[in-house]
Amino acid sequence: MEKKFMKGCEAIAEAAVRGGCRFFAGYPITPQNEIPEYLSWRLPQVGGAFVQGESEVASINMVYGAAATGKRALTSSSGPGISLKAEGISYLASAQLPAVIVNISRGGPGLGSIQPAQSDYLQATKALGHGGFRAMVFAPATLQEAVDLTYNAWEYAERYRNPVMILMDGCLGAIMEEVEFPEMKELTADNVKEWCLDRIDGREDDHMITPILPEPLLEKLNIGKGMQYKMWEKLDTKVEEFMLEDAEYVVVAYGIAARVAKEAVLRLREEGCKIGMVRPITLYPFPKASLNNLDYTKVKGVIDIEMTIPAQMREDIELQVKDRCPVYEYGRSGGMLLDDDGVYEAIAKIVKGGE
């Protein structure tokens, strides 16, 4: 294992290469430019291809083509560009192609702001494109977690033949932390997918990759996908549960917000408050059980902390809390950052004020 002090965007770019990524296409947008910049020299070193697309629309469709060849393909962007990728992501889901999409999110809506925000939760978890499909959404809170999730993202994408999203805000993309990189994955001819366009395995039959299907087959695909989403919930939900045993208040936060909120939780614990935290690592599948199974004879309130206003995860939380206690929210938005004192005070007011 190799340790390096690295910037978030570059760390996930390197993790992607080590995870077997051999194709990248993307279009410049702040705050994720270090990903394409890094991959422009790094991918050729390992025999991969880098293309600066003419738009996000073109880039995601290049990824669609690359993924169809069985190569591990990646694109990255931020809010405005992710919106443009929506069409292509839907086509990936329809044609059952694995690929990884990174969103280093910024303030929205519209051109919004280039400063960090968690403003794309609903887009990522509910509707990455038209047609009613889902994709796994990984939301790391540290750069090490970002490296590990990115490194393994294609395993999930290929297992389920579905796009996977890594959702990280501009703070995590820009900060520097020490990370340990896993070994380079060696993908041999054995890894060639039985459905892909490559003929390296010497196949003689023909392959069709299609985003359009006759109605009965499309219905069948969607029924299968529905079952798959249920399976993800059972097998692939990732969550951190922190100090929940005796908790009377439970904070729910992901990514950068969870880092800030954890400080507040620790500070309040020192002051004697019984408070814990649930940190979704997969936003989809959402860690329902962690919230549904709380002991509501003890829990007096659940507090949703997000770097966006209004809170976007709230409905998912409320569906699990089921009115068994009040749900509160606090956040900043538009590229205004959460800070330790602001989050502490917002939570303290609820916990101590018995609000």
Look at residue 283 and give its three-state secondary structure.
Answer: strand
Q: Which of residues 66 and 147 has its CB atom nearest to other proteins in the complex?
A: 66
Whether the ω angle into residue 44 lies within 30 degrees of 0, i.e. cis, is no
Site for other proteins in 244-303 (CB under 8 A): none
- The C-alpha torsion from 164 through 170 and 171 to 175, rounded to 10°, is 90
Sign of the torsion formed by the C-alpha atoms of 106, 112, 115 and 118: negative
Among 9, 31, 35, 91, binds other proteins (CB under 8 A): 91
CB 301 within 8 A of CB 249: yes
Q: Which of residues 27 and 286 has its CB atom nearest to other proteins in the complex?
A: 27
71: contact with other proteins by CB under 8 A: yes
- Which range binds other proteins by CB under 8 A, 113-121, 185-193, 202-210, 314-322? 202-210
CB 333 within 8 A of CB 308: yes
Q: Which of residues 6 and 63 has its CB atom nearest to other proteins in the complex?
A: 63
Closest CA to 101 of 89, 111, 109, 112: 89
Sign of the torsion formed by the C-alpha atoms of 340, 251, 315 and 144: positive
Place of tokens 């794309």: 120
- Which range binds other proteins by CB under 8 A, 119-127, 159-167, 208-216, 338-346? 208-216
Alpha-carbon distance of 108 to 245, in angstroms, equals: 37
Binding mask 11-30 for other proteins (x = CB under 8 A): -----------xx-x-----
Could you tell me the smallest distance in angstroms from the CB atom of residue 109 to other proteins? 24
Among 37, 87, 177, 236, binds other proteins (CB under 8 A): 87
Among 1, 189, 208, 227, binds other proteins (CB under 8 A): 208
Contacts with other proteins by CB under 8 A lie at: 22-23, 25, 49, 51, 53-55, 57-59, 61-69, 71, 73, 87-88, 91, 95, 197-199, 204, 206-212
